[in-house]
């Protein structure tokens, strides 16, 4: 099924990526188009799959999520970046890098799906960062 919201999952833990895919795969308007274990792999896959949104972890070997976000914004400005992390203390760096969402991994499925839809539709921005909306979920 082709969804209208194309998602790239970026996390160095395969179990996390599989869990996120499972959480999202039942949504008719969301399609996980690719999974990456690193920032470098994510950038390569993004060029092939043209995601609308990338869910990116902060702590990864090699290129971390903050640097991956910076590079995404440079090469794929149409892709919205949501940081999805265990850490609560990188919000400012994520915003400065160009992320439009910051979500801590203890959220539930409904909150994640809602945040993805809000960011994709830009109907209810909670914060402004430059000309981009910013959604913050349960910090």
Question: What tens digit of pLDDT does each residue of 6-15 get?
Answer: 999 999 999 9
Please say if the pLDDT value at position 69 is more than 70: yes
Tell me if 96 is assigned to some domain: yes
| pLDDT confidence band for 118 (50 / 70 / 90) | confident
| pLDDT confidence band for 104 (50 / 70 / 90) | confident
Tell me if 65 is assigned to some domain: yes
- C-alpha dihedral (126, 129, 131, 136), degrees to nearest 10: -30
| pLDDT confidence band for 132 (50 / 70 / 90) | very low
Distance CA 125, CA 132 (A): 9
Tell me if 54 is assigned to some domain: yes
User: Is the model more confident about 87 or about 130?
Assistant: 87
Tell me if 136 is assigned to some domain: no
Tell me if 137 is assigned to some domain: no
Give residue 112's domain range: 5-126
Question: What tens digit of pLDDT does each residue of 47-61 get?
Answer: 999 999 999 999 999
The CATH number covering residue 40 comes to 3.40.50.2300
Please say if the pLDDT value at position 80 is more than 60: yes
Tell me if 63 is assigned to some domain: yes
Tell me if 120 is assigned to some domain: yes
Tell me if 105 is assigned to some domain: yes
Number of domains in the chain: 1
User: Is the model more confident about 19 or about 138?
Assistant: 19
Average the pLDDT over 60-88 and give the result.
92
pTM: 0.86
Please say if the pLDDT value at position 136 is more than 80: no
What's the confidence (pLDDT) of residue 124? 42
Alpha-carbon distances, residue 77 vs 4, 72, 82 (angstroms): 18, 7, 13
What's the confidence (pLDDT) of residue 127? 42
């Amino acid at each position: 099924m082709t969804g209208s919201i194309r998602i790239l999952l970026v996390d160095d833990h395969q179990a996390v990526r599989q869990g996120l895919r499972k959480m999202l795969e039942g949504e008719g308007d969301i399609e996980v188009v690719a999974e990456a274990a690193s920032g470098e792999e994510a950038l390569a896959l993004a060029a092939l799959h043209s995601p609308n949104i990338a869910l990116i972890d902060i702590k990864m070997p090699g290129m971390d999520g903050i640097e991956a976000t910076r590079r995404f914004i440079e090469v794929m400005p149409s892709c919205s970046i949501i940081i999805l992390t265990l850490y609560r203390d990188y919000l400012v760096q994520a915003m400065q890098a160009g992320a439009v969402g910051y979500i801590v991994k203890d959220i539930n499925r409904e909150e994640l799906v809602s945040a993805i839809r809000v960011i994709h539709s830009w109907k209810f921005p909670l914060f402004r960062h430059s000309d981009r909306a910013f959604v913050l979920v349960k910090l």
